[in-house]
Amino acid sequence: METIELKKVGEIAPPLFNDAGLPAGFVHSIETGAAVDGPGMRFALFVSGCQFRCLYCHNPDTWKLHNGKFYTVDEIIAEIRKYASFLRVAGGLTISGGEPMMQAHFTGEIFRRAKHELGLHTAIDTQGFLSGNLPDEWFEPIDLVLLDIKEFNNERHMRLTGKPNEPSLLFAQRLAAMKKPIWLRYVLVPGFSDFEEDVEGLAEFVAGLGNVERVEVLPFHKLGESKWQELGLAYELTDVRPPSPELVHRVREQFRRHGLETY
């Protein structure tokens, strides 16, 4: 297996415990019948904490770690166990956020137990920024990575998220070396991530990885704008309209021309 050099950026949260000393973490929300967070019907766990400040984020209330509700790993596994027999045939578990790797001690243990105790298909929805802080073994119980690459041009990525894109791109290469399947997610924002040359560069990059099973082009929407207002945050995309059907078609076709299954 090819070895990808790990570059540590940012910091994952230290291990957290409840008063009884049990491993725990902060959860933003739980959805027991998620249909858009991986294959089939999923138990979707949305954890708190994220380093990115994406201008289009529809859950800015997940940015701060302590904004969530405190749960032990045992409590989460007990909740998942209620649906496990159904999930084993219908879908599985997806951990999203926020950013799941920010609470890697918490989410890693949930993944391990969901896979080895409950026998579930597991998926993580991540931008991969903190992946260099974690060993390959952490990803062993994860079957699928829903990888969010926000923009291929680093300067535009910084404008859109406040962070560089190199960690995400290195993580994609590392997943290819581990032969871990990827579903790529690309949010299409007019004037921010619709540049033809950037989409072309990203399409060529991911087509060369060999482990990208599908590409999901997600049209920008402003459903989270009210949350920004409630939190007293300035929403910069008020005047940005969703992409036209023609623009969505163009971007999807760019990925398809590189042999990628695209939606």
Structural domain includes residue 18: no
Please return the burial class of 204, using the count of CB atoms within 10 Å of its CB with bins 0-12, 13-18 and 19+. middle
Structural domain includes residue 19: no
Contacts of 197 (CB under 8 A, 6+ apart): none
Query: What is the helix, strand, coil percentage profile of the chain, to 5?
Result: 35, 20, 40
pLDDT digits (tens, 9 = 90+) for 82-92: 999 999 999 99
pLDDT score for 79: 98
pLDDT score for 10: 83
- pLDDT at 2 exceeding the cut of 80: no
Please report how many Cα atoms fall inside a 13 Å half-sphere around the Cα of residue 95, on the Cβ side. 32
Alpha helices, DSSP H only, in 36-179?
73-81, 84-90, 104-116, 154-161, 166-177
pLDDT digits (tens, 9 = 90+) for 13-37: 999 999 999 999 999 999 999 999 9
Tell me how many domains the chain contains.
1
- pLDDT at 8 exceeding the cut of 90: no
Q: What are φ and ψ of residue 137, in 5° steps?
A: -60, -30
Structural domain includes residue 45: yes
pLDDT score for 9: 83
For range 136-158, the mean pLDDT: 98
Structural domain includes residue 16: no
Alpha carbon distance 76, 47 (integer Å): 11
Alpha carbon distance 8, 29 (integer Å): 28
- Contact, 2 vs 177, CB < 8 A? yes
Alpha carbon distance 188, 190 (integer Å): 7
pLDDT digits (tens, 9 = 90+) for 48-64: 999 999 999 999 999 99
Q: Residue 4: pLDDT band by 50, 70, 90 thresholds?
A: low
Structural domain includes residue 13: no
Structural domain includes residue 15: no
* Among candidate residues 261, 37, 217, 53, the one with its CA nearest the CA of residue 145: 37
Q: Residue 1: pLDDT band by 50, 70, 90 thresholds?
A: very low
- pLDDT at 226 exceeding the cut of 80: yes
Global pTM exceeds 0.85: yes
Domain containing 32 equals 25-256
Q: What is the CATH number of the domain that holds 114?
A: 3.20.20.70
For the chain, helix (H) and strand (E) counts, in that order, are 8, 9
pLDDT digits (tens, 9 = 90+) for 171-184: 999 999 999 999 99
- pLDDT at 5 exceeding the cut of 90: no
pLDDT score for 6: 67
For range 226-238, the mean pLDDT: 95
Residue 112 tokens, joined: 């391990």
Structural domain includes residue 94: yes
Alpha carbon distance 47, 106 (integer Å): 10
